[in-house]
Chain A
Amino acid sequence: MIKSERPVILTSNEVTMTEGQTAIADMSRLQPIMDAPVWVDRINFMVRGISQNVNYLVNMGGDIACRIQVGRHFLSSDFIPVWSYCQQTIQANNQNSVGGGSQASANNTSHKKWTWKLPKPLFVPRGAPIVPLWTWIPPPPSVAGGGTAAAQISMVGRVAADPTAPDEVDIPWVARWVGELKASAGAAGLATRSGENDLYNATSKAVHVQRLIGRIRRIRHGGTRIWEDEFADATRSIQARVYNWNGEALTGDFFRWSSIFEPSRCTWNLNYDVPSTKSLFIETQPFTSIYTIGAMTAYVSMIGTRKETL
């Protein structure tokens, strides 16, 4: 007889933080206390501003970052901006938008939402804690006083029909690079390069990289005020190249950013193994942007899984 799996959602409490601050969610809410382990298929992130600051109009998916731990395994070596976990979908609020969910949203109640469909379902043993640690990383250059933001996370999955733990489980691994492409209004576009510790496999196992996600932010700042442009992902003047730890090119040359990270999803599906302690690299070349009125920042993340024993 085939046992059926039933759906389950584990939702954390909402934590609040100010700029630069770290917060941790109540672990008990994300602990599978069912009679069986849980397979997690998706992780949902929700972020909103709760104290209004009209001088701070930015997309909080790039600001609010999360680091997740499942049992003794970390899913990343550092905080990852929540939009860097998730490929873009058709949701309007998934956009790089200054609308609902921004710190200055009119009623401060609308959430900004992102969904991370895991590369492979994540096995969470019964009672094992899922720990999200949050922080608010202000975008460069920072303007202090962004107010207060709130964040929440949900695990969407199934209660396992078979309580037996597999010998090996697929644990996601996420690494990220945040690079300054253009420092300020009027400045030239920079040649910049990710470092060895950015798109890095810090685990002891090979990481099978499912995809790279690349996003661009354009932020203007004047005096004490900063605000962000919408739909910057396809900014045309930025060119980049990607190569691996041996210097082998993944792009033949410097290609337009949007040729690498296709703008409807902002992703490039790789299906490629990165060995332990190795990195992928991305490099941009100097550029002259007709966007002269603000700064530009690149967000690139590497999403994959590695095999671990529980």
Chain B
Amino acid sequence: MSAGLPRLLSLPNAVSLINGQSAIIDTTELRNPFRSGMWMHSMRFQVERSTLAALSAPLVQAQFWLGRHQFSAGVCPIYTLDRIYNPLTDMGRNSMLTGADGTSTEVAFPNWQWKFQKPLYVPEGAVVVPKLYNNSGVTVQVRLTYVCQEAPGPAPQELYIPFAANFIGAGGVGGANVFTDISQESDLLNPFDEPVFVRRMVGRVAKDRTSDAQYSDQDLVGLGLKVRMSGSSGRAVVRDPVPFNHLFPTTHRQWLTNSVLAPRGYYVVAVEQDYSAFGGLSANRFQPVIGMSGYRKVRAQL
């Protein structure tokens, strides 16, 4: 059984954000163009810096609304919204390769996506409103694309609203001795009145080279990170300190939890960090970033 006409909706131009800036975007091109509802399956992000040679920053964050329904309580780093689908293209890793002429010409750039576990129904004329925030330290250009499909027929009685939450640890510099970042109850929180189905948690370690604000996803220091986690009931979720890379394996960085988080429920995560073995990286700052994503079910009233 075929669904309706597939349609990509994309911002006509990249959104330029200086560091510390947030932007509400002209959503004309992102509005449902059909004379019926549409299904939204995923969204895609591209992040670039003005200089081609440098990697773009992961700490570009986003927040979305459909009508009165928020996807998250605040902005979330876009690279924790979903798993890694291909380590070879994640973080624009290809851009570290120089072009064949010896310069970085026409190199790639970070591409991320957020595939929804359940398609989101967007009623006729409605729009998923994005808000972008740049906390990367440099100016970035962000491109946003929605992957949609016409949804002929009656509107569903219930909507599956995507959900995301995150925790960004303070982190430390290379060479720093043992310390622990503990999330607040308001970080990995379900702030809504409905239970949230948590499909996955995603863990990253951002490495920020302070000299030029180049970021990467750092596997190496995962050796010096251990994670414990408990739920709002006080029960242990991850009882013993587990190496970061065991919880969030390098190839996909996800932990498929497939669990339900009650209204106002939360997880508290403690990340023990020891960068003493990485004294040679003292010009780098490392930050653990943990996100969770899923969906919640609401009545179809925007």
Contacts and interface: CB of A to CB of B under 8 A. Distances in A.
Q: Do A and B bind each other?
A: yes
A236 B85 CA distance: 20
A265 B106 contact: no
Contacts of A206: 2
A273 interface: yes
A294 B100 contact: yes
A271 interface: yes
B120 to A, nearest CB: 15
A259 B5 contact: no
A262 B7 contact: no
Between A237, A290, A292, the greatest number of chain B beta carbons within 10 A of the residue's beta carbon is seen for A290
A299 interface: no
Interface stretch (A2-10, A73-81, A167-175, A223-231): A223-231
Contact of B3 (A234, A250, A271, A294): A271
Given A92-B88, A259-B46, A233 B108 contact: yes
Contacts of B41: 269
Given A95-B88, A250-B6, A231 B46 contact: no
Contact of B143 (A90, A232, A249, A256): A256
Interface in A27-69: none
A141 B12 CA distance: 34
B12 A253 contact: yes
A258 B88 contact: no
Nearest to A293: B101
Nearest to A227: B100
Interface in A228-253: 229-237, 242, 244, 248-253
Nearest to B2: A273
A217 interface: no
Interface stretch (B58-66, B89-97, B166-174, B212-220): B89-97
Contacts of A230: 94, 97
Contact of B149 (A232, A244, A263, A271): A271
Contacts of B2: 206, 208, 271-273
Interface residues of A, number: 48
A301 interface: no
Contacts of B88: 90, 92, 95, 231
Nearest to B86: A264
Contact of B29 (A227, A252, A262, A264): A252
Contact of A259 (B44, B89, B94): B44
Contacts of B72: none
Contacts of A244: 5
B71 interface: no
A255 interface: yes
A289 interface: yes
Contact of B108 (A220, A263, A268): A263
Contacts of B44: 259, 262
Given A249-B7, A251-B8, A256 B106 contact: no
Contact of B7 (A227, A231, A250, A264): A250
Nearest to A229: B100
Nearest to B30: A252
Contacts of B108: 231, 233-236, 258, 263
B94 A250 contact: no
A291 interface: yes
A90 B46 CA distance: 19
Contacts of A232: 106
Contacts of B254: none
A235 B109 CA distance: 9
B159 interface: no
B113 interface: yes
B8 A250 contact: yes
A194 interface: no
Given A255-B145, A259-B10, A88 B106 contact: no
Between A235, A242, A250, A258, the greatest number of chain B beta carbons within 10 A of the residue's beta carbon is seen for A258
A183 B86 CA distance: 30
Interface string B211-251: 00000000000000000000000000000000000000001
B4 to A, nearest CB: 8
Interface in B18-66: 29, 33, 41, 44, 46, 48
A234 B8 CA distance: 17
A255 B46 contact: no
Contact of A89 (B29, B48, B86, B97): B86
A260 interface: yes
Contacts of B111: 234, 258, 262-264
A270 interface: yes
B122 to A, nearest CB: 15
B9 interface: yes
* Shortest 6 CB-CB contacts between residues of A and residues of B: A273-B2, A264-B86, A234-B108, A291-B106, A231-B94, A264-B85
Given A231-B94, A264-B90, A270-B6, 9 more contacts: A206-B2, A234-B94, A250-B7, A252-B8, A259-B46, A269-B41, A271-B6, A272-B5, A290-B106
Interface of B: 2-3, 5-10, 12, 29, 33, 41, 44, 46, 48, 84-90, 94, 97, 99-101, 105-109, 111, 113, 143, 145, 147, 149, 251
30 contacts: A89-B86, A90-B88, A95-B88, A229-B99, A231-B89, A231-B97, A233-B108, A234-B89, A244-B5, A249-B7, A250-B6, A250-B7, A250-B8, A251-B8, A252-B29, A253-B10, A255-B10, A256-B143, A259-B10, A263-B111, A264-B90, A264-B111, A265-B86, A268-B147, A269-B147, A271-B3, A271-B6, A291-B105, A293-B101, A294-B100
